[in-house]
A and B are shown apart, each in its own frame.
Chain A
């Protein structure tokens, strides 16, 4: 009876998880999704608590309380730090899976060897490899995003990098297969596999740079989900399998969207080490850049009917989103239509820009996807680029020698006038020259994004007061 109750609780939890994700298809119903998820989780935990044979209540309570205490501050980080928090959360997920797999293996090894069937051992191996590599890989990613000093931000490369990384993983898998056939005699291989998986996680994130973080975070999201699936196979728990599969497929779909938005393949992101290919660049021809004052730009925007703002990671770094909101208010007040063009890979994780702009209380119906806004770009009077670079580089459309050739971009160059806010003329993260800056209709606004947008707002409001 009790077991049937547990299974029914799990069944309902599974259904509620599916609905939670379903409600995320519209911002109006999305919060219902959270409630549904919480209820599902509550049922799952309650169902597990009535499992017969649980005696260590003290340990469970201690871990739950500490986890709660650590979780609350982690949910209050500033929104610019959400990518790091997400990576950290993948690390915790991977760690949990790895530890449970380790515990189960040694438990069965000592108490009931007959339970280490080929199926179960396979599941355990999958769980610990996925779990531990997600753990260290996500910690590395979180460190890079948090810009911790001793973790290199730029891609680190060395000769035979891919070959040596892949052979590490290969050795781990070979050890795993050996262990499947001799789960008891070769028990000494188990810690070796753990060590290899931990090392591989670090080494496979080291060569990946900031611009590729959205893809890598999505991929690690998928791995964290799959390690929960493997845990479900080990413990023969269908709820773990279904919930993990939902997480895994979500990560997979997001990584595919990210890759497509950069016109790159998975293998290229993972083994390509962006940002070192194009050292030469075409500096031969002397190009001129025109700059403009914030006052001049403000005047031009004031007289426009459509202004398209194209935000990028630079806006997040400068924390300029609230100033952008003031600019939006000033222009909207004057009857200017202001829209925001969101490139799928702008920022450091999927959807990063949307969250920052929503935080600044910009209505979400003004946040427009790349494909939809490109349609309107020729009608735009002003395109204002704030801290975006590669995602507006026209070279992606027509220059086959450019490393970003083929990547879909936002057509900032098709607007009548383009203003680009930038600190200096140094090329962006990927080290690629952006020909948008040299286009005849482009004017640069040099300076910190927050300060410049502030100046724009100021000259608009000053101007408004003189009337």
Chain B
């Protein structure tokens, strides 16, 4: 089981590395669609890894799992920062800032509430 996870993680690693290399040097991406195909590969592999990892999550923890994935999908902060920060017309900056606010809210509340819930899950009391 462990090896499966490690190897699937490695697969995404291997897939992401050339993509990262490509992103640095635009001249190596001759066709406009090439980047998208690369990204599709990453998407597909990440979905498979997600399926594998999630299906082994303890059923006890499905509520914290959902709030943790909420927090992870707050990765939209990355996109929102780019939109907000770059030199764009002000209405674009405003849209970006609202998006950044929304995803930052998810990020903070998602991690905090997940930890708050997980703290409550205790096995039988050792003492007493």
Interface residues of A (CB under 8 A from B): 3-4, 7-8, 10-11, 14-15, 17-22, 24-28, 30-31, 33-34, 37-38, 40-41, 44-45, 47-49, 51, 53-57, 59-60, 62-64, 66-68, 70-72, 74-77, 79, 82, 85-86, 89-90, 92-93, 95-97, 99-100, 102-104, 106-107, 110, 117, 119, 123, 217-218, 221, 224-225, 228-229, 231-254, 257, 342, 344, 349-352, 354-355, 358-359, 361, 363-367, 369
Q: Check if B115 sits within 8 Å of A250, measured CB to CB.
A: no
Q: Give the residue name and chain of the A residue nearest to B53 (CB).
A: A21
A11 to B12, CA, bound (A): 9
List chain A residues, Cβ under 8 A from B118.
27, 30-31, 34
Nearest Cβ in chain B — how far from A300, in angstroms? 25
Q: Check if B117 sits within 8 Å of A355, measured CB to CB.
A: yes
A152 to B27, CA, bound (A): 56
A302 to B82, CA, bound (A): 63
4 cross-chain pairs, A with B, having the tightest CB-CB distances, nearest first: A67-B104, A71-B108, A351-B62, A249-B50
Which of these, B59, B73, B87, B93, contacts A224 with CB under 8 Å? B73
Q: Give the residue name and chain of the B residue nearest to A65 (CB).
A: B104
Q: Check if A352 sits within 8 Å of B63, measured CB to CB.
A: yes
Q: Which of B64-82 contact A (CB under 8 A)?
A: 64-82
List chain B residues, Cβ under 8 A from A18.
5, 9, 12, 49, 53
Q: Give the residue name and chain of the A residue nearest to B5 (CB).
A: A22
Most buried by A among B89, B109, B118: B109
Most buried by A among B17, B60, B88: B60
Number of interface residues of B (CB under 8 A): 93
Q: Check if A246 sits within 8 Å of B76, measured CB to CB.
A: no
Q: Which of B2-32 contact A (CB under 8 A)?
A: 5, 9, 12-13, 16-17, 19-20, 23-24, 32
Q: Give the residue name and chain of the A residue nearest to B17 (CB).
A: A11
List chain A residues, Cβ under 8 A from B81.
45, 48-49, 51, 54, 60
List chain B residues, Cβ under 8 A from A243.
72-73, 75
Further pairs besides A63-B100, A107-B92, A351-B60: 19, Cβ < 8 Å:
A17-B72, A31-B118, A37-B111, A53-B86, A60-B97, A63-B101, A67-B108, A74-B109, A75-B112, A82-B117, A86-B63, A89-B67, A97-B99, A100-B80, A224-B73, A242-B42, A247-B73, A250-B65, A354-B121
A416 to B26, CA, bound (A): 72
Q: Give the residue name and chain of the B residue nearest to A34 (CB).
A: B115
Which of these, A63, A231, A254, contacts B66 with CB under 8 Å? A254
Which of these, B51, B78, B111, B113, contacts A85 with CB under 8 Å? B113
Q: Check if A67 sits within 8 Å of B32, measured CB to CB.
A: no
Q: Check if B51 sits within 8 Å of A93, measured CB to CB.
A: no
Q: Check if B87 sits within 8 Å of A55, measured CB to CB.
A: yes
Q: Give the residue name and chain of the B residue nearest to A344 (CB).
A: B59
A22 to B65, CA, bound (A): 10
Nearest Cβ in chain B — how far from A142, in angstroms? 13
Q: Check if B50 sits within 8 Å of A354, measured CB to CB.
A: no
Q: Give the residue name and chain of the A residue nearest to B21 (CB).
A: A7
Q: Check if A34 sits within 8 Å of B68, measured CB to CB.
A: yes
A233 to B17, CA, bound (A): 17
A247 to B60, CA, bound (A): 18
Q: Give the residue name and chain of the A residue nearest to B29 (CB).
A: A236
Which of these, B72, B105, B116, B124, contacts A20 with CB under 8 Å? B72
Q: Check if B85 sits within 8 Å of A51, measured CB to CB.
A: yes
Q: Check if A244 sits within 8 Å of B92, measured CB to CB.
A: no
Which of these, B61, B87, B89, B110, contacts A89 with CB under 8 Å? B110
A89 to B112, CA, bound (A): 13
Q: A11-B20, A21-B68, A93-B102 are in contact. Are A228 and B62 (CB under 8 A)?
A: no
A247 to B23, CA, bound (A): 24
List chain B residues, Cβ under 8 A from A76.
112-113, 116
Q: Give the residue name and chain of the A residue nearest to B71 (CB).
A: A37
Q: A38-B111, A249-B50 are in contact. Are A86 and B60 (CB under 8 A)?
A: no
Q: Check if B87 sits within 8 Å of A45, measured CB to CB.
A: no
Q: Check if A229 sits within 8 Å of B84, measured CB to CB.
A: no
Nearest Cβ in chain A — how far from B81, in angstroms? 5
Q: Check if A233 sits within 8 Å of B16, measured CB to CB.
A: no
